[in-house]
Structure 1
Amino acid sequence: MSNRSLLTYVLISSFILSILIDQASAYGPHKYDCCINYTQKPVPIRFIKGYMEQSSLTVCSIDAIIFLTVQDKKVCASSKDAWVKSAMRRLSYRLKQLSKKSPDGNGDGKRAIPGTFTAVVTPAAP
């Protein structure tokens, strides 16, 4: 085998290997934003504007409720905690109240539930 054909073989093999490695990692869990543990401190309801659910049946390893705060931070919590159940009930109640006010759901012409969030509400007026 000549040096030229060996070099061509190595280059082609390297190229194919690099493509396969990139494809394998594209499906891995590091491409997702998963909760890996829960917060120990309750988040006051006035700082929460929405939540979504994370399932362990998908890529992530634990079931969790992900709260979105008014500062656009995500907080992971256990759905078994009493404060989490209470916050979810209050957010769902607020969302129902907002949807009763107008046909579009929140009275300002914008959607009340963007993307994958289960409930997104605006803070109560003072």
Structure 2
Amino acid sequence: MASQAAVLLALSLLSLWTSPALGGANDAEDCCLSVTQRPIPGNIVRAFRYLLIKDGCRVPAVVFTTLRGHQLCAPPDQPWVDRIIRRLQKNSAKNKRHSS
């Protein structure tokens, strides 16, 4: 239990603050100022969204939302990011089939 708390604390510290996009296509959208290169454990992620240059952001990123509501910015071109996204999409499709 203590190690899980330590991991969550470390991830909280890794959480990168976001700021409003400056002059972007969608001024209400937040953008990541930087991304973490350290892999995020997929089992703590519940959702994701893309923030791209075409959206008015200077740093392209995938923003993962953790089970505790923290938002972590990750680089969209990393294999570990793709794995987490695929798992989330697979789980989402599975949940939709079961609710129909």
Tell me the residue number matched to 2:57.
Answer: 60
Amino acid aligned to 2:66 = T
Aligned length: 77
1:94 to partner: Cα distance: 0.5
1:79 to partner: Cα distance: 1.1
* 2:33 aligned residue (24, 36, 41): 36
Matched, 1:95 2:92: yes
**Cα distance 1:70–1:28, how it changes in 2: closer, same or farther (>3 A)?**
same
- For the residues of structure 1 that align with 2:54 and 2:33, how far apart are their CA atoms? 14
Give unpaired runs (5+ residues) of structure 2.
1-21
Using the size of structure 1 for normalisation, the TM-score is 0.56
* 2:77 aligned residue (76, 80, 90): 80
The alignment-based identity, stated in percent, is: 26
Using the size of structure 2 for normalisation, the TM-score is 0.69
Tell me the residue number matched to 1:117.
Answer: none
1:71-94 Cα offsets, whole Å, 9 max, x none, are 101111111111000000111011
- For the residues of structure 2 that align with 1:32 and 1:102, how far apart are their CA atoms? 31
- For the residues of structure 2 that align with 1:65 and 1:58, how far apart are their CA atoms? 12
4+ runs of 1 displaced by more than 3 Å? Answer: 27-32
Q: Give the aligned CA root-mean-square deviation in angstroms.
A: 1.8
Indicate the SS of the match to 1:76: strand
Tell me the residue number matched to 2:67.
Answer: 70
Give unpaired runs (5+ residues) of structure 1.
1-26, 104-126
Tell me the residue number matched to 2:7.
Answer: none
Larger of the two Rg values belongs to structure: 1
